[in-house]
Amino acid sequence: MGRYGNLDYGLLTKTGFLLGVGLFALGAGGGAVGHSLYGALPAWETTMFTYAEVIGILLGLFSPFLFGIFLPLTE
């Protein structure tokens, strides 16, 4: 048994990256579709889509580093 238990690093890396890509796509697509269908969106919706994009980018970048490089090396 490893230091962090039985973690499937490959699965965690892929899942985290795909979750980040999905959040980014939801934020970018929601903002684009919302503006094209409804014109000006309320401020809270614009903020929500922007945060989804930023969190998606961060999750997509840091998940492979954390689960694909850092944790396997420290085990």
Q: Where are the domains of the chain?
A: 9-74
Mean pLDDT of 70-74: 89
CA distance 21 to 55: 10
Find out whether 49 and 30 touch, Cβ atoms under 8 Å.
Answer: yes
The per-residue pLDDT for range 25-44, each reduced to its tens digit, is: 999 999 999 999 998 999 99
Q: Average pLDDT of the chain?
A: 92
Distance from the first to the final alpha carbon of the chain? 10
Strand, helix or coil for residue 61:
helix
C-alpha dihedral sign at 63, 64, 65, 70 = positive
